[in-house]
Amino acid sequence: MTKHDESTQMAMPHDPKNTTQSMDMSQMAHSSMGHDHMQMNGHGDMGSMDMGGGHMMHMGNLRRKFWVSLILTIPIILLSPMMGMRLPFQLTFPGSDWVVALIGSVLFFYGGAPFFSGAKAELAQKKPAMMTLITMGIGVAYVYSIYAVIANDALHVTPVVTDFFWELATLIDIMLLGHWIEMNTVMNAGSAVDSLSKLLPQTAHVIAADGSVQDVALRDLQVGQTVAVRAGEQIPADATILTGRSAINESLVTGESKAVTKAVGDAVIGGSVNGTGTFTAKVTGTGDSGYLAQVMDLIQNAKQAKSQSENLANRVAGYLFYAALFVGILAFIVWLNLTSLAVALPVAVAVFVIACPHALGLAVPLVVARSTALAAQNGLLIRNRDAMERVNQLKFALMDKTGTLTQGHFQVNHLLSLDAAYSETSVLQLMANLESGSSHPLATGILTAAKAAKLTVTAATETHQETGLGQFGTIDGTTYGVVAVSYLDQHHLAYDQAQFKTLAAEGNSISFLVAGERVLGLVAQGDQIKPHAQQMVAALKRRGITPVMLTGDNQETADKVAHAIGIEHVEARLLPEDKERLVHQYQAKGQVLFIGDGVNDAPSLARADVGMAIGSGTDVAIESADIILVASDPADVIRFLDLARATNRKMTENLWWGAGYNLIAIPLAAGVLAPIGFMLDPMVGAVVMSLSTIIVAINAMTLRLKRSAD
Active site residues: 400
Beta pairing class for 569-571 and 546-550:
parallel
- 3-class secondary structure per residue, 540-551: HHHCCCEEEEEC
The answer to whether residues 363 and 658 touch, using CB atoms and an 8 Å cutoff, is yes
Cα dihedral across residues 126, 131, 137, 142: positive or negative: negative
- Give the list of residues 6+ apart from residue 503 with CB closer than 8 angstroms, or none: 414, 510, 522, 524
What is the edge-to-edge ordering of all strands in the sheet holding 279-285? 213-217, 203-207, 226-229, 279-285, 238-244, 267-268
Angle, vertex CA 475, rays to CA 471 and CA 479, nearest 5: 55
Closest by CA position to 536, among listed 403, 606, 640:
640
Alpha helices in 256-357 (DSSP H): 291-304, 308-338, 341-354
Rounded Cα–Cα distance for residues 444 and 439 (Å): 6
Closest by CA position to 3, among listed 574, 621, 603, 580:
574
The answer to whether residues 555 and 572 touch, using CB atoms and an 8 Å cutoff, is yes
Using a CB cutoff of 8 Å and minimum separation of 24, what contacts does 575-578 make? 575/2, 575/5, 575/467, 575/468, 575/469, 575/486, 576/5, 576/467, 576/468, 576/600, 576/601, 576/602, 576/603, 576/604, 577/603, 578/550
- Give the list of residues 6+ apart from residue 623 with CB closer than 8 angstroms, or none: 10, 13, 602
- Give the list of residues 6+ apart from residue 639 with CB closer than 8 angstroms, or none: 378, 380, 705, 707, 708
The answer to whether residues 359 and 695 touch, using CB atoms and an 8 Å cutoff, is yes
Beta pairing class for 569-571 and 238-244:
unpaired
Closest by CA position to 393, among listed 207, 166, 593, 602:
593
What distance, in Å, lies between the first and last C-alpha atoms of the chain?
30
Rounded Cα–Cα distance for residues 382 and 379 (Å): 10
Which DSSP state fits 287? G
Cα 215 to Cα 220, 242, 491: the distances in Å are 10, 19, 58
**Which residues on neighbouring strands pair with residue 246, listed in sequence order?**
262
Which DSSP state fits 612? E
Cα 285 to Cα 222, 236, 240, 645: the distances in Å are 8, 10, 10, 35
Residue type, 279: F
Q: How many CB atoms lie within 10 A of CB 618?
A: 22
Rounded Cα–Cα distance for residues 681 and 350 (Å): 6
- Give the list of residues 6+ apart from residue 694 with CB closer than 8 angstroms, or none: 181
Rounded Cα–Cα distance for residues 92 and 109 (Å): 24
State the Rg of the chain over Cα. 33
The answer to whether residues 358 and 175 touch, using CB atoms and an 8 Å cutoff, is yes
**Which residues on neighbouring strands pair with residue 207, listed in sequence order?**
213, 226
